[in-house]
Structure 1
């Protein structure tokens, strides 16, 4: 294949992950979160796969994302929940997309009521994350009552978002759950039919008490572990593989260096492979002298500084002979080759970050190639 680097995205894996999460949700509606271009996997392909896997709703962060889904053919029978804030300019875009929208202030509620269209509204309580939503449960209830009373508005949902669901054993998760339940369950008694929702991927897998009527998994639908550990331990299948190739093989004598700043100087004679990927592709400079790749089914270390367009790996590292690589050979930066595996979680640990950032950070210079278990992806 003629390529510098490719993100190979298996939509079959997304389908299976969603089906697994549907089972775990035990009757709650699964709202698959496909914001940020499907966490870097491709929003439209991820949305289609999630729906085939059994998701009933989709969720996005921006009005533009909602409209893009509608324009791509996501019909009105699929609810799109818009999770984020809306500026005055974005609000009509969200409504043109027939998205469910979130309110937590009287001002936004007034803007919705003034539009005149039939709009589905979700009221957000800030139970402890400290971002969007009102911390005042009484104000949230008053907003919900006002939505229900408005002739063109429908009170569709009441929700919150967890701060520490991905930290097993943390007590604040339980505190947030109690705060939300204390507000939301009386609200549902007051307004039968309103959907309660709180659970992200981590909460969905951690505690069935967080499921309520609808769950909002994001990272897990892509086979990324919300706890930053091994996806396979939770029966999740990573959907994205990042591959490049060996552009050049070069002898490197002891004392010679590779990369800007000479951050790698060979301690002994070795062989280096130059691979045409770098921070311009989202393969971060922070991986300098830290990451690994798979070549010929063997794990080899990244050496030297990650530059914008290239990086080098030491084919002669470790015991035994050097990996017998040649120009054109495949290099797997995330994925499986032979009996070895590198996960997004592995890369994230090298960067002291989270798996979300690894996949979201892949730049548009890396084409996403969608397939289903090795075959062309469904339209």
Structure 2
């Protein structure tokens, strides 16, 4: 280790995951979602890897994210900004030649007043956030965009609320509403790219694929269903590693960490690992996580502090100062997944990688080769 902790990102895994998801949606273009700094993996690197894996579109949420990608040299692929935009943000997005999502007449007018741009009309089929719930109004927006000489109507879209909850009925209700609306547009001769599916929907139902699929969490090797990425043919692209900065004996009755939340019941050894909630390793993992050292599992014990955690090494493990400590990743047949950590925290895998803070450098590689 050359730093206290690092997130190692395998861009080759991202490329392969895109190819896997694309194969699950034959006939549909793949749009790689790299919002929130590529779900914590690095937006620019993730976008480039996704394009090399077969994606032809990129999606983000903010105007600045689109601007960043263009500035990094990603000048060719269409970039879809999926989020709500202020007046100032709309100017930035249009300057970045990004596609804009609209769901009101005022939004169309704002794009038109700035000289035009590429727009996607969003129907809210049940997510309850952005988009119009009224398919008649959505169709009116489509017609209005078609009629405006400075607007280019590109897409018709929606977003699923429960695609990752297999067996629920609401997914089918949303899909039915969107399918009916798209069918009406097609029957009226509207030439538009229809898109709805996220990673979970891609794997769940081919009827959701339409012309374009927006794959996000799955391209990073995170299971859209929150269980096991290997079950979906996906490989985690990020591992979080640190090192044993101190290895010291601990006697029965002695403690480690703030608040004495770990008190040794027998004589043994503890390691201090320089990573903490200041790096995004959540305090809720106090006495509630495991790490890998030398391919073996050890319990993380004591309070997670801003900068350090402690590990119970037992009575005699052979761990030495300087040994690698894996908080997310696989070694020697053992693995710790973001899904495992998410279950311990009562959250989702997205939050584990997105929550890694900038203090943790991202180290890019392709199957171990530096990039």
- Which residue number in structure 2 is paired with residue 64 of structure 1? 64
- Which residue number in structure 2 is paired with residue 253 of structure 1? 251
Q: Matched residues in 2 for 1:186 and 1:116: separation? A: 29
- Which residue number in structure 2 is paired with residue 283 of structure 1? 281
Q: Matched residues in 2 for 1:8 and 1:189: separation? A: 49
- Which residue number in structure 2 is paired with residue 341 of structure 1? 335
Secondary structure of 1:180's aligned partner: helix
Judge conservation of contact 1:298–1:323 (CA < 8 Å) in 2: no
Correspondence for 2:326 among 332, 340, 353: 332
- Which residue number in structure 2 is paired with residue 198 of structure 1? 196
Correspondence for 2:364 among 364, 367, 370: 370
Secondary structure of 1:356's aligned partner: helix
- Which residue number in structure 2 is paired with residue 241 of structure 1? 239
Shift of 1:295: 0.7
- Which residue number in structure 1 is paired with residue 25 of structure 2? 25
Deviation string for 1:259-292 (max 9, x for gaps)?
A: 1111111111121000000000000000000000
- Which residue number in structure 2 is paired with residue 109 of structure 1? 108
Q: TM-score w.r.t. structure 1 length?
A: 0.97
- Which residue number in structure 1 is paired with residue 47 of structure 2? 47
Secondary structure of 2:215's aligned partner: coil
Q: Matched residues in 2 for 1:147 and 1:191: separation? A: 14
Shift of 1:231: 0.5
Q: What is the 5 A alignment of 1:132-281?
A: 132-281=130-279
Correspondence for 1:300 among 284, 298, 301: 298
- Which residue number in structure 2 is paired with residue 91 of structure 1? 90
Secondary structure of 1:335's aligned partner: strand
- Which residue number in structure 2 is paired with residue 10 of structure 1? 10
Secondary structure of 1:8's aligned partner: strand
Judge conservation of contact 1:296–1:323 (CA < 8 Å) in 2: no
Q: Matched residues in 2 for 1:189 and 1:85: separation? A: 30
Shift of 1:191: 4.2
Q: Matched residues in 1 for 2:79 and 2:361: separation? A: 26
Judge conservation of contact 1:12–1:373 (CA < 8 Å) in 2: yes
Q: TM-score w.r.t. structure 2 length?
A: 0.99
Judge conservation of contact 1:295–1:323 (CA < 8 Å) in 2: no
Judge conservation of contact 1:6–1:366 (CA < 8 Å) in 2: yes
Is 1:353 aligned with 2:351?
no
Q: Matched residues in 2 for 1:161 and 1:334: separation? A: 30
Secondary structure of 1:227's aligned partner: coil
Q: Matched residues in 2 for 1:102 and 1:353: separation? A: 29
Q: Matched residues in 1 for 2:198 and 2:177: separation? A: 17
Following TM superposition, the consecutive aligned residue runs of length 4 or more in structure 1 with deviations greater than 4 angstroms are none
Judge conservation of contact 1:278–1:306 (CA < 8 Å) in 2: yes
Shift of 1:187: 1.4
Judge conservation of contact 1:67–1:97 (CA < 8 Å) in 2: yes
Secondary structure of 1:216's aligned partner: strand
Deviation string for 1:326-367 (max 9, x for gaps)?
A: 110000000011121111111111111000000000000000
Where does structure 2 lack aligned partners over 5 or more consecutive residues?
Answer: none
Secondary structure of 1:365's aligned partner: coil
Deviation string for 1:133-191 (max 9, x for gaps)?
A: 01111111111110011010011000000000000001100010001111122113324
Q: Matched residues in 1 for 2:189 and 2:253: separation? A: 74
Deviation string for 1:301-341 (max 9, x for gaps)?
A: 0110000000001000xxxx532111100000000111211
